[in-house]
Copies of this chain bind each other. A is one copy, B any other.
Amino acid sequence: MNSIITIDRQYGSAGRKIGSMLAERMEIPCYDSALIGRIAEKTGLDEQFVRESSEYSSSPGVLLSVLSGRDQYGYAIQDEVWRVQRNVIRELADKPCVIIGRCADYILRDRPDILSVFIHADEDIRIRRVKEEYHDLKPGEDALRKIRQMDRRRKSYCQLYTDIYWGEARFYDLCLDSGKFGIEKCVEIIESLY
A interface vs B, CB < 8 Å? 10, 118, 120, 167-170, 172-177, 180-181, 185, 189, 192-193
Flag if B172 contacts A174 (CB, 8 Å).
no
Residue numbers in B under 8 Å from A185 (CB-CB): 193
A174 to B172, CA, bound (A): 11
A172 in complex: contacting residue of B169, B173, B181, B192, CB < 8 Å: B169
Q: CB distance A174 to B173 under 8 Å?
A: no
Query: Would A120 and B176 count as touching, CB distance under 8 A?
Result: no
| Closest Cβ–Cβ distance, residue A17 to chain B (whole Å) | 18
Residues of B within 8 A of A10 (CB): 170
Q: How many copies does the complex hold?
A: 2
Which of A10, A176, A181, A189 counts the most B-chain CB atoms under 10 A from its CB?
Answer: A176
B173 touches A180 (CB 8 A): yes
From A170, A173, A177, A192, residue with most partner B Cβ within 10 Å: A170
Please report the C-alpha to C-alpha distance between residue A174 and residue B120 in the assembled complex, in whole angstroms.
10
The answer for the CA separation of A193 and B174 in the assembled complex, in Å, is 14
Contact of A167 among B120, B168, B177 (CB under 8 A): B168
**Chain B residues near A175 (CB-CB < 8 A):** 118, 169, 172, 174-175
A10 and chain B: residue at smallest CB distance: B170
Q: In the bound complex, do residue B169 and residue A173 qualify as a contact, i.e. CB atoms below 8 Å apart?
A: no
Tell me the minimal C-beta distance from A128 to chain B in angstroms: 17
**B residues within 8 A CB of A170?**
10, 120, 167, 177
Contacts of A180 in B (CB 8 A): 173
